[in-house]
């Protein structure tokens, strides 16, 4: 979670879209797509932690989803106050996609190892 917060709240130079080079545009897309694996990993770690302390499967899924989405929404809100950063609904959607992907991966792996 600390890595997500630090990486997401670092000030950046704001370059208007029409002035970005091709490389800067590609880097911008890659940076946005990084939301998916970051929130997938956050969810995987959360699911594993709550499984270790014996949460039921539904409680584990709900609590882990709440943590991932709360962090995602908080970061997007805080970015509105960081120079060169801005919060966006599309980033929240990418966070949610990562969370769902992390859950699917976790429960598929757990299903195979426990079955």
Q: Tens digit of pLDDT for each residue in 71-111?
A: 999 999 999 999 888 889 999 999 999 999 999 999 999 88
pLDDT at 46: 97
What six digits make up the tokens of 48?
A: 């594993």
Q: Tens digit of pLDDT for each residue in 1-21?
A: 788 887 888 887 777 777 778
pLDDT at 114: 66
- The rounded distance, in Å, linking the Cα atoms of 64 and 115 is 23
Range of lowest pLDDT (16-20, 34-38, 63-67): 16-20
Q: In which residue are the tokens 């970005």 written?
A: 20
- The rounded distance, in Å, linking the Cα atoms of 114 and 1 is 28
pLDDT at 92: 96
């Amino acid at each position: 979670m600390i890595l997500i917060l630090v990486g997401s709240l670092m000030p950046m130079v704001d370059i208007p879209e029409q002035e970005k080079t091709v490389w800067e545009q590609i880097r911008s897309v890659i940076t946005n797509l990084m939301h998916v694996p970051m929130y997938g990993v956050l969810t995987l770690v959360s699911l594993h932690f709550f499984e270790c302390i014996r949460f039921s499967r539904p409680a584990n899924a709900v609590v882990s989803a709440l943590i991932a989405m709360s962090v995602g929404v908080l970061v997007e809100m805080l970015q509105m106050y960081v120079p060169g950063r801005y919060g966006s609904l599309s980033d929240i959607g990418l966070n949610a996609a990562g969370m769902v992907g992390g859950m699917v991966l976790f429960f598929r792996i757990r299903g195979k190892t426990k079955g």
